[in-house]
Amino acid sequence: MKVFLLEDDFALNKIITNSLKNRGFFVHNYHDGYKAVEMILNNSYDLFILDLNVIGFDGHQILKIIRKNNKDIPVIIISAQIDIENIQKSYNLGCNDYIKKPFDFEELFLRIQYHVQKLKVTDKFLTNLDNSFSYDLLKQDLYYKQQAIELSIKEKLLMTLLVQNLNKVTSIEMIHEYVWDSKEMEAVSMRSLIHKLKKKLKNGMIINVRGEGYKLIKH
């Protein structure tokens, strides 16, 4: 799962980033609203954590941009602003949660778990792919008969995207955007990544849809 973090306090930003990474999340962290807007417009994320008072575009402006493009992605506001006006404005603009600073990281993680569970892409974290293979969307772990299979970072990102689009075509453009952050890459890199992931799954689970992309089939 890819998490977008906007927090201008460098120490807190580092704590949240490292804590989430230790839980298996992939975190893109930023300290100012200028860079944040640029990244949001050019990349895909599964969850947003936004501070309100940052340089450049503030948290409310960022929230407006997010909701203009997607109504369902969870957005959690973290802020030292505890007045009811800011809280009400945040919810009116479409945030899913508002956590007042200071807070315990475990509280933030519990809120994240709660909102991930409500995502439309899954009714639960563990997705059974057949009688032997399963994938945990929260931990981003692939299992064969309950034994974890080692995945690289890009393999985890690709597997997450394929599971989120289970039995549907995942376009080449979607993979490029999600796994490579739309950065320049050679076509052979994607084919190589697909090939490596196929070898870790049952034959025929990932199929190539010519001219469109790839599909993960539930058996």
Q: Is the pLDDT of residue 122 over 50?
A: no
The terminus-to-terminus CA distance of the chain in angstroms comes to 24
Q: Is the pLDDT of residue 11 over 80?
A: yes
Query: Class assignment of domain 126-216?
Result: mainly alpha
114 confidence band (pLDDT: 50, 70, 90): confident
Residue range 82-104: mean pLDDT, rounded: 95
Residue range 14-37: mean pLDDT, rounded: 90
Q: What share of the chain is helix, strand, coil (3-state, %, to 5)?
A: 40, 25, 35
187-199 and 153-164 helices, crossing angle to 10°:
80
Structure tokens at 191: 């084919």
Question: In degrees to the nearest 10, what's the CA dihedral of 44, 45, 48, 52?
Answer: -30
Q: Is the pLDDT of residue 119 over 80?
A: no
Q: Is the pLDDT of residue 123 over 70?
A: no
44-54 pLDDT tens trace? 888 999 999 99
Amino acid in position 168: K
Q: Is the pLDDT of residue 121 over 60?
A: no
For 108, other C-beta atoms within 10 Å of its C-beta total: 18
CA distances from 123 to 8, 119, 199 (A): 34, 7, 28
More confident call, 116 vs 206: 206
**pLDDT at residue number 196:** 96
Instruction: Report the alpha-carbon angle 60-63-65, nearest 5.
Output: 115
Domain 2-117, CATH number (from 3.30.420.40, 3.40.50.2300, 3.30.1360.120, 2.160.20.70): 3.40.50.2300
CB 168 within 8 A of CB 215: yes
135-151 pLDDT tens trace? 988 778 999 998 999 99
Q: Is the pLDDT of residue 43 over 90?
A: no
Domain boundaries, the chain: 2-117, 126-216
Report d(CA 139, CA 130) in Å as an integer: 19
